[in-house]
Structure 1
Amino acid sequence: MNSLLMTAFVGLAGIAVWHLIPERRVNTRLIAQIPFFLAMSAMLLAWHILPTAPPDGQATTSAALLVGVVKLLWWLHLAWAIIGVVSISLVIEHKPREARLLQQVVIGVVYAGTVLSILAFVFAVPIATLIATSGAIAVVLGLALQSTLADVFSGIALNLGRPFRLGDWVVLSDGTEGRVIETNWRATLLLGFPNNVVVLPNSVLAKLGITNVSTPDETHGLSINVRVAPTRSPAAVVDVMKAVLQSCDLIVREPPPAVAIRGLDSTVIEVGLIFRVSDVGKRLAAMNDIYDLLYRHVRSAGLVLAVQGSTLVAMTDLPPLQARRNGSGSAPDLIAAMPVFAELEDAELRTLTSTATSRTFQNEDVIARLGDVLPSPMIVRSGIVARQRDDAKANVPPFHHLAPGDILGAGSILFDRAEDSTSIAVGHVTVLEFDRDFFASLLVAHPELANSLADLLPSGATGPDAAERPPEEVIKKPGLLGRIKSVMVA
């Protein structure tokens, strides 16, 4: 009797340890049951008590009750020990998805077997009749829960097949897309672009085609079709499209972007721009930037976008003949199209253009060095300008590109601020250098122009409180103020 009490005490101690260990430490909880199970097994074997033997009908009531309690505790610890062994093996194999699924399956099977064993070997319940009855009940429940069971088994197939992982971005054949944030027995949850959670039953998901755009890596491929009027040769059009891709800072360089001619006839040249972004979440920003650069480079090169479905291009839609020959859009049109000059009058735009000086640079020519204070602002008319932090290091990639319509030297005229990078020509580049005195007079007449220029500067270049100051205060800086005073005096 004392030995049975001691065995029962060991079993109860194991239960107490189970509850004392925090729930978040699941593995520790399960591992702790193994010593208690082994200790109980050794004690039962020492006293020739078999947990798998039916109850002894000749034992006294108190002895039979104590033996039943000890057997019940032993079966409970056996269940926990089996679950602990399975959990440890799955953790060692580093298969978290399979671990979660298989652990839940094992827990269900082990607990079901434990309950049946306790009924048979502790309470002497005829489980054969019980199993037959439960089989009939299972058939009825299976018919009633057919859709739920389909979701469960589809979830098992998806977890074992691993077409995606948590955090992957998937696109389904019905057009649904999103990032996988949870997958369970019944459904898979996707977080879409509108920040909505889409709940897909596993049985529905298993029937759809799944495209995992996060494998083999996070980069995502995109393609844009451009239709251009055949005013220049296809090779020249391809060069312009390559410049568009090269000046975009939101796409990856490896693998390199590509340009493909997809169609040519007497009315249109159809070109495809093929590129990749580092993450699928950046595709909208990258495509918007590509479209903006397309517009600017096409205008700068003197090209014309073809009208969708049109078979003819009106002669009035074509750029001047000289622009078509040298591939350079008109300077007045380029300046007028810039949002920063939207508030200027037509006469001011014409004067600004007439006072501008055109300068050309060849490939790798330095336009402005780090630390230079440009004598006057410049606008990129055609080509690409790469800005580097340190031009002394040849292996430092450009951190930013300037395309047609971008301005250099805004910080110089606003704040007498030196250039924070070295600007280098990529290929043939043409810039328009504005007259500083006339530009300063425009800032006096249009204070909002100063704010627009300040918005073009890198973050922090105008000071932390620049955005909170009114437009007329933005231009009150020593360098610009002195220039404005000299203009006013003259």
Structure 2
Amino acid sequence: MFSTEIAMDAPVRDGLMLAGGSVLLALIWFVFRRTSVGTRVLSCYMWIDTAANFVIIPLTIFGVGRFLTQLFDVLQYAEFANLTVTITQLALYVTISIGLGRIVEVWISVAHADDVSDGHLPQLLRLILYGLCVIGGLAVFLTMNGYRPTELYLSTGVLAAILAFATQQTLGDFFAGLTLSLESPFKLEDWIMLEDGTEGRVIDINWRTTRLRQWDNATLVVPNSVLAKTRIRNLHDRNHKYSPWYMIRISADYDPRAIKVLLLEAALRCKRSVPGALPTIRLTDATQSPYSYMVWVHFPNYQAMFAGREELFREIHNALKDAGLQVAVDLQEVRYARATHSPMEPPNVLMALKSLDFAAFLTDEDLGKIAAMSERSFFEAGSVILNEGEQADQMQIISTGVVEVSVSSNTGRRHHVEELNPGQYFGLAAMLTNEPAAMQYLARTDVSIIRVNVDCLRHVVSGRDGITEQFAQLVQHRRQRAEDAKTYVQDSGQAITFQDLVRRVDRVFRGGTR
């Protein structure tokens, strides 16, 4: 009978087994891709998904086509058999060409991970890539079946000319998008600002338009031809540091150096700036009143700039207000008498002493005596204030500016430890123990120092019971911090115990040899 003849035909049976096996393999792969395990694996290893699709899909098409061809041959439907062969060949060529396009896409995504988003190219580049692959597959199919692709080009030339004339604006957008994709003035997830002030985050680049997501969460669709003709400012993505500067105008009646100190301290208090990237303060215009000062700061990215800028302006306002100043406004005035201005005084020494940790051991009268006997020094940026290994007979309190602390390794290379800001001090341990300084102290910015020598402390604390041990505990704590930070410590023989520190500090306060 009919069914028996088919079942006994070996080619049909082999084709059925091939088709069934390939379809079963495709179903297993389809189910695996949608499981939680498959999703996690394929999201980490895109090559597995690409290679599997490149093999399984053409194999399934070949198996099903082979089975149908054998079946139509047995049923003696030669026309259907030939049509099945042709369709199978066409599907194989197109599928393989698309698979090659996917391999190229994954390679670009892996090799240029910073320029793509979510493992995919922009839509425009994907359209061009897969379009070229499909055209190539069709060309190979026509060539293998005895057709000349040039004949197809000639027969469709007139139609192509008519379509090009009718869609010249659309083609202009297409080629403009192609140019933007090749030059890459921006990529997905970048924030861009157009010449007219429009700004937004790039969420898609397709064959005709570029889509921007604006701050109000609205989507702005810009034709590629418009983008190609306008000036674009790329503000980059969340991984790109953004470093704006702001101009502050303050009256010319005040000392520029004091103003720079105030602005620097205000910028240093800005917690939203990039850690370790010091702000820069410059007097940019002193040719007219008010003077103009530039405050240059660094934020993690463009989006973080808005909150950071608010914090910076708030700190500048507070710093100027505490100093009795305000930002100058644009006014035209006629002066008939010289205006009086409150003189700007440097930070109060007594207030600086009260903020130190050892102030808890002393009275306000003691701190006042120390303040009266202290001295001031100024160091320009880059100057070494205290060298590692140098003897110190003075404690140094930072009044303004930033001091960098570093130590040297046994190879002679310097290692950054920390930065000291206004209100912190150094040199106390070296002064009270007669030991060389354990670290180097370098002025990162212009620095104003309050110097307190050992005679000041000796004059104040001599004869006090228990104060020696309190200072010794403080010195021990600071020495331990220094030893923990150093990469190596020069061998000084027997380790110094707490009792040794007590005796040394007591000898200093009594006026003995240090």
Scaled by the length of structure 1, the TM-score of the pair is 0.56
Counterparts of 2:168 and 2:13, CA distance in 1:
48
Q: Which is worse superposed, 255-264 or 87-96? A: 87-96
Q: Equivalent of 1:365, from 352, 356, 366?
A: 356
Across the aligned residues of Structure 1 and Structure 2, the Cα RMSD in angstroms comes to 4.7
2:86 corresponds to: 71
SS at structure 2 position matched to 1:272: strand
Shift in CA distance, 190/103, structure 1 to aligned 2, threshold 3 Å:
closer
Give yes or no for contact 2:283–2:293 (8 Å, CA) kept in 1.
yes
2:184 corresponds to: 162
Structure 2 runs not aligned, ≥5 long: 1-8, 35-41, 43-48, 70-74, 361-398, 403-415, 424-446, 451-514
Shift in CA distance, 18/235, structure 1 to aligned 2, threshold 3 Å:
same
Q: Equivalent of 1:301, from 323, 338, 346?
A: 323
Give yes or no for contact 1:170–1:212 (8 Å, CA) kept in 2.
yes
Matches within 5 A, 1:123-142: 131-142=153-164
1:202 paired with 2:224, answer yes
Matches within 5 A, 1:9-408: 10=18, 21-22=29-30, 27=50, 28-35=52-59, 62-93=77-108, 94=110, 95=112, 97=116, 103-112=126-135, 131-214=153-236, 218-265=240-287, 267-310=289-332, 319-320=341-342, 324-326=343-345, 360-362=351-353, 365-366=356-357
Counterparts of 2:17 and 2:89, CA distance in 1:
12
SS at structure 1 position matched to 2:203: strand
1:229-280, Cα deviation, whole Å (9 max, x unpaired): 1222111111111122112222224432111112124632211111111121
Counterparts of 2:358 and 2:197, CA distance in 1:
48
SS at structure 1 position matched to 2:252: coil
Q: What code does the residue aligned with 2:351 have?
A: T
Alpha-carbon shift at residue 78 of structure 1 (Å) = 2.4
Shift in CA distance, 283/140, structure 1 to aligned 2, threshold 3 Å:
same
Alpha-carbon shift at residue 190 of structure 1 (Å) = 1.7
Alpha-carbon shift at residue 285 of structure 1 (Å) = 1.9
Q: Percent identity?
A: 20
Counterparts of 2:336 and 2:155, CA distance in 1:
85
Counterparts of 1:196 and 1:139, CA distance in 2:
38
1:382-407, Cα deviation, whole Å (9 max, x unpaired): x8999xxxxxxx95779x999xxxxx
Give yes or no for contact 1:261–1:270 (8 Å, CA) kept in 2.
yes
Counterparts of 1:166 and 1:385, CA distance in 2:
41
Structure 1 runs not aligned, ≥5 long: 48-59, 330-357, 370-382, 387-393, 403-425, 430-490
1:469 corresponds to: none
Counterparts of 2:422 and 2:238, CA distance in 1:
29
Shift in CA distance, 81/114, structure 1 to aligned 2, threshold 3 Å:
closer
Shift in CA distance, 31/297, structure 1 to aligned 2, threshold 3 Å:
same
Alpha-carbon shift at residue 87 of structure 1 (Å) = 2.0
Counterparts of 1:272 and 1:210, CA distance in 2:
25
2:482 corresponds to: none
Alpha-carbon shift at residue 38 of structure 1 (Å) = 8.2
Counterparts of 2:133 and 2:18, CA distance in 1:
22
Q: What code does the residue aligned with 1:251 have?
A: S
Alpha-carbon shift at residue 76 of structure 1 (Å) = 0.9
Give yes or no for contact 2:26–2:56 (8 Å, CA) kept in 1.
yes
Give yes or no for contact 1:248–1:401 (8 Å, CA) kept in 2.
no
Q: What code does the residue aligned with 1:73 have?
A: T
Give yes or no for contact 1:11–1:73 (8 Å, CA) kept in 2.
no
